[in-house]
Structure 1
Amino acid sequence: MTSLHEHAPAGQQPPADRPVALQPLPAGVRRTVLPSGLRIVTEHVAGVRSAAIGVWIGVGSAHESPALHGGSHFLEHVLFKGTDTRSALDISVQLDEVGAEVNAFTAKEYTCFHARVLDTDVPLAIDVLGDMLTSSSITDEDVEAEREVILDEIAMHDDDPDDVVHNLFAEQAWGDTPYGRPIAGTETSIAALTAEQVREFWRAHYTAPGIVVSAAGNVDHDEVVRLVAAAFDRRGFLDRTADPVAAPLLHAPARPAVQDVRAGTIVAERGFEQVNVVLGRRGLARGDERRFAMGILTTGLGGGTSSRLFQEVRERRGLAYSVYAFTTQHVGAGLVGVGVGVLPSKVDATLDVVRRELETVAERGLDADEVRRGAGQLRAGLVMGLEDTASRMHRLGKAEIVGDRLLDVDAVIARIDAVTPEDVAALAAEVLRGPEVLAVVRPG
């Protein structure tokens, strides 16, 4: 039913709601803002007979107090349990009858409910999503039943070495702050949440001014606007006139400086055969114009079979099957790191190689050929990803809900192509020499 994605610096308080500054849109993308403040953004894709629809809510685990840790993800689950007019089975049956692909995910900065359907079934998908978000029952019984499901999900993630090591990495980097806590919550926090807390979280945050509906595929914008206005016109959800508002913590008047990380090593033991390691440093915050250089830097480090780390760790030394570099960007924080899974006997040798390559790139950057290959991978990933309607829908909705400017594809490619080896070298010198954060999950 759900997947987890990717809070704000400790002590930072949510700013008061204020109108969103609507960004200009690329050609082919249309936006309508209803009087209630709910935003609708669409993109017609020629030559397809399907459509992807997403409902984005500007609240995620970043906006939870410690007492509500895991509340966003809990609510995401419960909204599938039934409404005033549809039971949970009704929702499943109606969507299964048309072959819809329906799911949801919670991130640190937003929550999204999404569906992919044939173009003829767009009205049904929008109606069901609108019904769920505005008119869910959220009974005590549903909350208790779903509590057990979420605890099972947490246990499932605790059996996944990649999930465990990345959660540990965030915990070491950011500590007991919204950034450092796992999105799903913990066994303790989920056990403590009450049905009334879940209902109150829903009433407080699922409001029209903080919601975006995005759609891509064989859709007509005006028709989608009409369908959304009808589907969300329940329980007086659209009655109040308002401007679209900024999600708390996401749209400070000036973007916050990127949060520092806590250097150090964190270790956990699990019943795995391999040792899973993530080694990294402070990265860039969301919206930093150097993100294109960061994409090329991480690609050159560990983004393909020609990358530095793949060649050194796997091809030349046979230390590991999988090694990769990554970057994580939030509004007030970012990380850049390397992940690898190795046999216990090879951990020290692998870390030596990784540290040496990071230091080399910090000193010298990437050469022109590596920058060119990295740019080529980013261009191809962007363009091929946008051949899928779901990817287009996600791109529209995510940019709108977090307030980023949505660039057209040619503009993004131009920014990728404008990155020089000198840009990458300057960024590498800055981010790859910061305090080291190391997370290790070893057999135990």
Structure 2
Amino acid sequence: MKSSAVEIISDCFIEPELVSEEAKKPIYLSPWDLAMMSTHYIQKGILYPKPKHQHFNITTFMDNLKDSLSATLTHFHPLAARLATLKQPNPPSFTIFINPENSPGARFIHAAVNLTVDDIVAPTDVPMIVHLFFDHQKAISHDGHKLPLLSVQVTELIDGIFIACSANHMVVDGSSFWHFFNSWSEVFKSKRGNEHFVSISRPPVIQRWIPSGCDSILTLPFTHEDQFIDRPNPPELRDRIFHFSSDSLSKLKSKVNLECNTTKISRLQSLSALVWRCVTRARGLPRARETSCKMAADNRMRLSPPLPETYFGNSLHSIKTTTTAGELLERSIGWVAWRLHQAVTNHSDKMIKEFVDCWLKSPLVYTSRFFDANCIHIGGSPIFDMYGNKFGLGEGSAVLSGCANKFDGKVTVYPGRDGAGSMDLEICLLPENMVALESDKEFMSVITC
């Protein structure tokens, strides 16, 4: 790849077009939000080919992006705020909340790079330059006291445009992130002229979920930030996206269900079982060594009563399945997939509320120590609408992520660009383990390319 640097052309802040009285009030966070203090910002973006017709003007396009972002922030106003903390000395405690006061809004960066779309999508591994297409490099969510809770960077390539968002993980989870992204694309399409308000098809529910029976303002029994601040420093990793066709996934699903004499195991559970087995084999773990697969699960529909699908905030739980490396590799893939299926099925309202009750008694913040060296962690979802975000550019060429929240064994699921039930997996591994995975016959027999 040609050597190239990312040049910043302009940098500004975008405020909501309209600010309601409700948007002027502080927002107190849920246990799921507060647990994310030491996680990186969520960084996801979409690469588009640049329109070839003569009517396309980059200046006009940027102005339209800014105008539609401002209109979208009217609905998603927490993203235009900052975090704030109230400290109490006796007993020592922290109260962290979203503060709409004295914030310049969301950041908007226009950048350029002397690369083509093929320079980004053709290499086997995701090029490191992609990390520079995102703002907030290595920032953790607690940094949202000083940094914008949302930063958009739009990078011009020679023949493409990359629209990237970095969003604070205390404010959004993956579902909320793509809800905002989808709404921004919708507003971009519908906004005309100088309307002061543009409605959206799926307004977010901003009010945070607080467990019944406890105070509406949660406090953390810490005496100093050092007790919960952790800045991950992962080793050098290889980052590669693998493509799985709908046909390939159907065959895998049929195989694991047949082995278990059931029809209940999903495509994603089947694929997760495959990845867990093959990554464990690539790592060469001893037979007796414990290994786990953690799958990010959305709690919204599992709670009773359920949260709205448009609940804007974190509602995540990591479902953990554990076994030994020997059992994982010696048993059938159907056995592995069934274990994952059972873990997902058993993740109920009762289990969620038991976890929250434990958290309230002893609050924890997710740090790097929660991700052991022998696990894989599967996040993202094939049901998020990513390629439906067009911004007048047509369908994107790829969905890519920044350097945030990456470690050895991190797996992110995307819908496949081909649609029809296809999936893409972004897998991050130590270089020697990635080489072994690329030579794994069981794994490579299922991928499309």
Q: Which has the higher helix share?
A: 1
Q: Which has the higher strand share?
A: 2
Into which bin does the TM-score normalised by the smaller protein fall?
Answer: under 0.3
TM-score, normalised by the number of residues in structure 1: 0.25
TM-score, normalised by the number of residues in structure 2: 0.25
